[in-house]
Structure 1
Amino acid sequence: MNERLVVKSFGPIRSIDINFRKVNLFIGDQGTGKSCIVKLYSTFRWLEKTLLTETYSLDYFTKFVDARFKKQLCGYHRIDDFFRNDTYILYESALYKFVYAGNAFNIEKKNGTITGLPKIMYVPAERIILSSAEKKLKTFDGLPASNLTFNQTFWESKERFKDGYSFPFGNLNYKYDSLNDISWIEGCDYRVRLINASSGIQSALPVCIVSDYLGNIVASGKERPMSVEELQKLQKETSKIMENENLSDSVKNAMLKHLSSRSRYNCFVNIVEEPELSLFPESQNSMIRLLCKVNNGTTDNMLLLTSHSPYTLAILNNLVLAYKAYEKGDDNIKRKVAEIVPPEYHIDPESLTAFSLTEAEMENYQSVLSESSGIISKNDLDSVSELIMREFNILYRIYGKTIK
């Protein structure tokens, strides 16, 4: 993971400098910039992908910055109004360096090696609309365009799991009647239409089946769907290489391998807003474990989470501790750990980053990971409920005086 994002004076973000890892958590109060960060990251990963496939030329977005970079690209996630006169944004990976400053947008191509393309999915908090509407929505008036993209993938996922999908919690199953266009949720002794199910189920289903669906596509290594234009361009470039007599066989093979990488997904970048939405803590645990399991499907997969829930911190901590104990333990310890948290859910502490965002006047973010242990420190876990407990203790002392 070589991605770095620097943002200054953009929407609610005052100043951040983040290096992304395999698992990335952004937690904090409303309006502190959590979604802003992941939306910018999603935007630049998508832009990088389109440049690799040569869908757009390198200078397409550097010209007419207001119309193309701001309105077209950033407008996709509805963050085009967040720019200020002193906004500065830098995104850098092994392949490209993007810099926005002074209302100018510059792109620098680097010499990194392409191993494949990312499958990027942004899972919005508004996803419950898809379940409560049930019928396929054709317009999303008032919502970001990213919702339409997710809607399309949600319906592809429903077709993929129409014969049944087991929820990660509650002993529930999902079935899709494609003939009558009805989604069903089945329990042990009942069945209810998805539109009549609880808000937690309506929120969780799209996350679960889309994550599983796309994770399986990437892990299978199959060629990605390509447009007619992309195929024609790929065939033309392949012929050009093969017919060039000035190239050695080894150079030709290297160039063909480079072209081939554009026809496959090498990773799934799963960006999920509020995975805990409308879920009981026990169900939150199962949801995040599922997302981490999918993320562990391939080496280069990435998971980005925004959250308001303190339970998210504790859940990730357990997955890190399980990894540490499993890696260092003997066979007996490995068995005990696996009984509690199977290895497919584990998180290597070296692959985790977690930030708390606040409304501070200067830098409004801080890492909540301990540098020595790689896990979320006890103070950060406790501080989430500190205010509530302080009020409880004060009120309890006052109450005690009333009964003496």
Structure 2
Amino acid sequence: MICIRKTVFSILSNFSRCQRPAIMNEQLIIKNFGPIKEAAVNFKKVTVFIGPTGGGKSTLAKLVSIFRDVDFYISEYGPLDLLQFYGIESYFEKNSEIKFNRDRYGLKLKRNSVTYDKVTRQIINSYTKLTTKAFNERSKERVPSLVDSIHSAAKQAGLDNSGVDDIMNNIYPIVEQVIQDTSREMMKIIFSKMFLYTHPAYIPSERMFVSALNNSWAGLMRDDIGLPQSLLAFVNNFSQFRSSIGKLELPMFNVNYIHKDGEDLIEIKGSEKKLSLHETASGIQATAPLLVLIEYLSRNVEEVQSFIVEEPELNLYPVAQHDFIKWLVQKCCLGNNDLTITTHSPYILASCNLLMEAYKVWQQRPELEMEIDKIVPRASWINPDNFAAYYVDKEVVSIKDDRTNLIGGNHLDDVSGSISDAFRKLLRLKKQRDNA
């Protein structure tokens, strides 16, 4: 059985070593799906969605996470499995239409089916036929010799023909299962090079519950009380990986995270005192598990990682939001990795603009790199060509200014503008009263 697996992996070795281009052209087109009435989103290395609650930001983030997940393409349950995982299977309407394109590959999703465009179908079919043919040829060479070896061993053991038949009847189902497993691995490799990263890291806004419930998660998962599956997956990953981190600096809070003896602790710098995570400020509780998980995943340089983070600003003061965005870009955008954010905070947009402006100044004045780095660390600069930002409220509109290649000032000031407008109206009312 090991030989069969090695055969498949040797057949696919050249294909599996293919490198993705540095920048992928990835587009999601939606009509009438959940809160989204119409959308055309071009994803970049860093993509940000901002807008009111219920406008559809999370829907976009969940859909791209689904399309980047290998399970979407090879699950025996089809697309419905991941749609249920993210709780959006009920969003389909009769006229819903979702298309996903990545470079020259494309697909269309309906309620219970996935169809690929002509080019994609041809490529999938050609690789499938090629690998199946090679696999069958290798199997013809090796399986008979395996059978002969079994017969020979049985004869030496003094078994009669019925004993040999019993052995073979037990072995054939195992061989068939191995063939199915290797076929699944073959398709996984093919699709992973066409559409996706193996499993995107989706970090939900409900992560605040992780520290609040502390060590009660095992019982909650066991009792199946209906928590979002994406939250349970996040908790499971955090619980699994935190011991590998051990200690992690959280620079935006000037503290260290420590995992010791099954406990999540926060060490205040300059003090010997350590607090349990659930005893700390809400911003630390909401952020520390996310930081630990991303730190662990970002160390894996063998696989391309996709990070999708909901509301990074949770419970954070604006200055901490800015420091957090710098950290996210530095950790999540290494190599060909990418980062998608949903947010309600204009401070997140302002921080992204600053990181892009640092890159632009460096392009114009490369001799000032060291001075720029002192203001904005080099590792967190964003190339504006690799950045996209959208306002989402049932429909989706790009908020990047074509002239500056930054986020437009109107969108940064929307909230403060409406507050100022209301303030001016109150002042006018007061003035009218004073003049009366």
TM-score range, shorter chain: 0.7 to 0.9
Is residue 126 of structure 1 aligned with residue 126 of structure 2? no
Aligned mates of 2:104, 2:294 — CA distance in 1:
26
Task: Give the gaps of 5 or more residues in structure 1.
Answer: 62-67, 222-264
8 Å CA contact 1:136–1:155 kept in 2: the answer is: no
Q: Which residue of 1 aligns with 2:356?
A: 320
Q: Which residue of 1 aligns with 2:264?
A: 183
What SS does the aligned partner of 1:32 have? coil
Deviation at 1:76, TM superposition (A): 0.5
Q: Where in structure 2 are the equivalents of 1:163-174 lying within 5 Å?
A: 164-174=247-257
The number of residue pairs the alignment matches comes to 335
Instruction: Find the partner of 1:202 among 276, 285, 297.
Output: 285
Q: Which whole-Å deviations, capped at 9, do the CAs of 1:183-210 have from their partners, x for residues lacking one? A: 1112133432111112111111112111
Deviation at 1:11, TM superposition (A): 0.5
Is residue 356 of structure 1 aligned with residue 378 of structure 2? no
Aligned mates of 1:326, 1:301 — CA distance in 2:
22
Distance 1:170 1:103, change over 3 A: closer
Instruction: Find the partner of 1:154 among 226, 232, 238.
Output: 238
Aligned mates of 1:372, 1:343 — CA distance in 2:
24
8 Å CA contact 1:296–1:344 kept in 2: the answer is: no
What SS does the aligned partner of 1:92 have? strand
Q: Which whole-Å deviations, capped at 9, do the CAs of 1:33-61 have from their partners, x for residues lacking one? A: 000001011111114x664xxx54xxx56
Deviation at 1:358, TM superposition (A): 2.2
Q: Which whole-Å deviations, capped at 9, do the CAs of 1:272-318 have from their partners, x for residues lacking one? A: 000001110011011111110012311x1110000000101100000
Aligned mates of 2:244, 2:87 — CA distance in 1:
30
Moved more, 21-30 or 151-160: 151-160
> TM-score, normalized by length of structure 1?
0.77
Instruction: Find the partner of 1:99 among 98, 108, 115.
Output: 108
Moved more, 381-390 or 106-115: 106-115
Deviation at 1:170, TM superposition (A): 2.2
Deviation at 1:151, TM superposition (A): 1.1
Q: Which residue of 1 aligns with 2:310?
A: 273
Is residue 301 of structure 1 aligned with residue 310 of structure 2? no
Aligned mates of 2:253, 2:231 — CA distance in 1:
27
Aligned mates of 1:168, 1:301 — CA distance in 2:
22
Deviation at 1:215, TM superposition (A): 0.7
Instruction: Find the partner of 1:287 among 297, 300, 324.
Output: 324
Q: Which whole-Å deviations, capped at 9, do the CAs of 1:141-186 have from their partners, x for residues lacking one? A: 3322112221121123321222x21113121111112x2x221112
Task: Give the gaps of 5 or more residues in structure 2.
Answer: 1-23, 125-189
Moved more, 111-120 or 316-325: 111-120
Deviation at 1:329, TM superposition (A): 0.8
Instruction: Find the partner of 2:381 among 346, 365, 371.
Output: 346
**Residue identity (%):** 30
Deviation at 1:13, TM superposition (A): 0.2
Distance 1:147 1:345, change over 3 A: same
Q: Choose 1 or 2 for highest CA Rg.
A: 2
8 Å CA contact 1:184–1:192 kept in 2: the answer is: yes
Is residue 76 of structure 1 aligned with residue 85 of structure 2? yes
Deviation at 1:104, TM superposition (A): 4.3
Aligned AA (2:47): N
Q: Which residue of 2 aligns with 1:248?
A: none
What SS does the aligned partner of 2:390 have? strand
Aligned mates of 1:183, 1:83 — CA distance in 2:
41
Distance 1:315 1:176, change over 3 A: same
Distance 1:401 1:213, change over 3 A: same
